[in-house]
Structure 1
Amino acid sequence: MNKKILLSLLLASCCWLGASAQQVAVKTNLLYWATTTPNVGVEFAVSKHSTIGMTANYNPWTIGSDNRIRHWFVRPEYRYWVTEKFTRLYFGVHAIGGKFEVGGFKLPFIGDRILTGLATNYYKGSFVGAGVSIGYQFYVSPHWNIELSAGAGLARLSYHAEPVRGPKAASYTNRSRILPIPTELGVSFVYLFNSKK
Structure 2
Amino acid sequence: MLTVKANITELATSTINIGVEQYFNNRFSVSLPVSYNPWTFSDNRKIKHLAFQPELRRWFGETFRGSFIHVQSFIGLQLHYLYYNAGGIGIPFGMFPDPKNTRYQGHGAGGGLTYANQFGLGGRWRGEVGTTLVFSYLWYDSYECKTCGSFKGSGTRRYVGPGKSSLSIVYLTAIYALY
> Which aligned segments of 4 or more residues in structure 1 are displaced greater than 4 angstroms?
none
Structure 1 residue 184, shift from structure 2 partner: 2.0
Q: Percent identity?
A: 25
The answer on 1:30 being equivalent to 2:5 is no
- Which of 164, 168, 175 does residue 188 from structure 1 map onto? 168
Whole-angstrom distance in 1 between the partners of 2:115 and 2:96: 28
Would the alpha carbon gap of residues 134 and 167 (structure 1) be closer, same or farther in structure 2, given more than 3 Å must change?
closer
Structure of higher RCO (CA pairs closer than 8 Å, 6+ residues apart): 2
The answer for the alignment partner of 2:21 in structure 1 is 43
TM-score by length of 2: 0.88
Query: What number of residue pairs does the alignment pair up?
Result: 170
Q: 1:168 is matched with which residue?
A: 150
Question: Unaligned regions of 5+ residues in structure 2, if any?
Answer: 66-71
Give 1 or 2: higher strand fraction. Answer: 2
More helix by percentage? 1
The answer to whether the Cα contact below 8 Å between 2:143 and 2:153 also exists between their aligned partners in 1 is: no
Q: Cα RMSD (Å) of the superposition?
A: 1.7
Verify the 8 A CA contact 1:48 1:85 in the aligned structure 2: yes
- Once residues 54 and 174 of structure 1 are traced to their aligned partners in structure 2, the CA distance between those partners, rounded to angstroms, is 31
Q: TM-score, normalised by structure 1?
A: 0.80
Distance in 2, matches of 1:56 and 1:33, equals 12
Tell whether the 8 Å contact from 1:53 to 1:78 is kept in structure 2 after alignment: yes
Task: Provide, for residues 44-97 of structure 1, a one-character-per-residue CA deviation record: whole Å limited to 9, x for no partner.
Answer: 010011101200000011111321111110100010111110231111101011
Query: How many angstroms apart in 2 are the aligned matches of 1:107 and 1:95?
Result: 21
Q: 1:114 aligns with which of 95, 99, 107?
A: 95
